[in-house]
Amino acid sequence: MELKSRKIVHSAVTRSPTDKWTAQQMREATPWGRKPKYLIRDRDKKYGHQFSKVAMLWGIKELKTPNRAPRANGVCERYLRSLRRECLDHTLLLHGKQLQRAVREYTNYYNQDRPHQGIGQRIPAFYDRPVAANPRGKISSKAILGGLHHSHSRASLPN
C-alpha cells in the first residue's frame, strides 16, 4: 500500500503463508524497480530470512512494528478491516479461487472507485489529479461484487 495515496499495490491470497511465499509476493509487488523506501511489517514468522533478503537486495528498509501493536501499522490494518467488513463478511466463499477473485475485485474497487475519508474523499488511483466539478451530465452506476457495491460516474457532456 502506498501510504500517501492509500493505493493498494498488490494483493494475494494463500491458505498458509510461508517465508518463501511472502518473498515472492514482495518480488511481485515491486516490479521494474518500483519500490518503496520503507516497508512497515509485523513480526510474524512468515516474514523470514528470504523475505528480508529480497527487501535488503532491493534497498528497502524494513520497519518492524512493536509486539501486539496493531495501531503501529494503522493504514494497512484499516484496509484489511475494510476488506473484511465491506466484502468478505457479506460473501459466501466456497473455494480459494472465489476468494482470490473477490479480493482482486474489491482491491480494484478500493483503488478505482471508493472515496477515502483519510485523503479528503479522493480516490487512490486519482489522488494526484485535481477534482473536476461537472454539475451536469447523466450519472451512471456499475455494480461491483455482484451488486454489493456500486461505482457511480457522471457522463461527459459533448462539446
> What CATH number did the domain enclosing 108 receive?
3.30.420.10
pLDDT at 2: 66
User: Does any domain span residue 66?
Assistant: yes
Q: Which residue has the higher pLDDT, 126 or 95?
A: 95
User: Does any domain span residue 91?
Assistant: yes
User: Does any domain span residue 108?
Assistant: yes
pLDDT at 120: 73
22, 50, 58, 61: CA torsion to nearest 10: 80
* Mean pLDDT of all residues in 11-40: 91
Angle of helix 49-57 relative to helix 19-29, nearest 10 degrees, comes to: 20
Range of the domain at 127: 19-133
Q: Considering only CA atoms, which of 77, 13, 23 is closest in space to residue 48? A: 23
User: Does any domain span residue 142?
Assistant: no
Say how far apart CA 157 and CA 77 lie, in whole Å.
40
| Structural domains of the chain, count | 1
Mean pLDDT (the chain, rounded): 85
Answer yes or no: are the C-beta atoms of 147 and 43 closer than 8 Å.
Answer: no
User: Does any domain span residue 43?
Assistant: yes
DSSP assignment of 62-94: EEEPPTT-GGGGHHHHHHHHHHHHHTGGG----
User: Does any domain span residue 158?
Assistant: no
pLDDT at 127: 66
Q: How many CA atoms lie within 13 A of 70 on its CB side?
A: 6
User: Does any domain span residue 121?
Assistant: yes
User: Does any domain span residue 6?
Assistant: no
